[in-house]
Chain A
Amino acid sequence: QVQLQESGPGLVKPSETLSLTCTVSGGSISSYYWSWIRQPPGKGLEWIGYIYYSGSANYNPSLRSRVTISVDTSKNQFSLKLSSVTAADTAVYYCARHPHRSSAIDYWGQGTLVTVSS
């Protein structure tokens, strides 16, 4: 059974960079696509972007200028960096898997709340 676990700081200051890592266990990171999705408190879901295990990435245009997603196959991990954060970036951040570029997300991490505040 594949499991995904997000990790990283729960509090980030405005204008700084949010950094999260997702560790994949119970399966290989290879041959799959890996996404980050976020959900502001009490609101809906927003797709941030995905990365393929080979390293090619695709980002939501609304966040593209501030987002970098990377992968480390040796550690079975992928990561999210979101720069110049504001209070609007406060959200639960989920990492997730989809088998193909155009396939439904089938596995999700439990999510981690990141609060942007001074």
Chain B
Amino acid sequence: EIVLTQSPGTLSLSPGERATLSCRASQSVSSSYLAWYQQKPGQAPRLLLYDASSRATGIPDRFSGSGSGTDFTLTISRLEPEDFAVYYCHQYGSSPRTFGQGTKVEIK
């Protein structure tokens, strides 16, 4: 099983600042089959990025993803008020599918 470790656990930032979230895998993620999701309280996760760097439909271009192998990054270039949420990475290249434990982006 591939274990995904996200860091930091919590990121305290102000609107307009840049957010950099990390996801490290215990072994190489096949074909960069890694996605990022945003989850707000009481809501289902929403797909932001898939295949490490491809934006899902309707996702603004302030969200970007990079990485391969075992190290992946989600960057939010300028935080908007609606971006404060919990973010999860998810690998779907190996079974079982696994998720990181989440990074909470909170308002400073």
CA gap between A84 and B56 in the complex, in Å: 38
**Are B47 and A44 in touch, CB under 8 angstroms?**
no
**Are B99 and A104 in touch, CB under 8 angstroms?**
no
Counting CB contacts under 8 A, is B50 at the interface?
Answer: yes
Give the residues in chain A near B93, CB-CB below 8 Å.
102
**Are B35 and A47 in touch, CB under 8 angstroms?**
no
Give the residues in chain A near B95, CB-CB below 8 Å.
58
CA gap between A52 and B47 in the complex, in Å: 21
Give the residues in chain B near A60, CB-CB below 8 Å.
96-97
How many chain B residues have a CB neighbour from A under 8 Å? 25
Interface of A (DSSP majority class): loop
Give the residue of B90, B98, B101, B102 whose beta carbon is less than 8 angstroms from that of A104.
B90
Counting CB contacts under 8 A, is A26 at the interface?
Answer: no
Give the residue of A44, A59, A103 whose beta carbon is less than 8 angstroms from that of B99.
A44
CA gap between A15 and B1 in the complex, in Å: 27
Most chain A CB within a 10 A radius of its CB, from B44, B45, B46? B44
**Are B88 and A45 in touch, CB under 8 angstroms?**
yes
CA gap between A54 and B92 in the complex, in Å: 20
CA gap between A35 and B35 in the complex, in Å: 16
Encode B24-50 as 1/0 by CB contact (under 8 A) with A.
000000110101000000011111001
**Are B88 and A44 in touch, CB under 8 angstroms?**
yes
Counting CB contacts under 8 A, is A27 at the interface?
Answer: no
Counting CB contacts under 8 A, is A105 at the interface?
Answer: yes
Q: Which residues of A contact B (CB under 8 A)?
A: 35, 44-47, 58-62, 94, 98, 102-106, 108-111
Q: Which residues of B contact A (CB under 8 A)?
A: 1, 30-31, 33, 35, 43-47, 50-51, 56, 88, 90, 92-93, 95-102
* 3 pairs of A and B residues whose beta carbons are closest in the complex: A104-B50, A108-B44, A104-B35
Q: A45-B45, A103-B33 are in contact. List 7 more A-B contacts (CB 8 A).
A: A45-B99, A46-B99, A104-B50, A105-B35, A106-B47, A110-B43, A111-B44
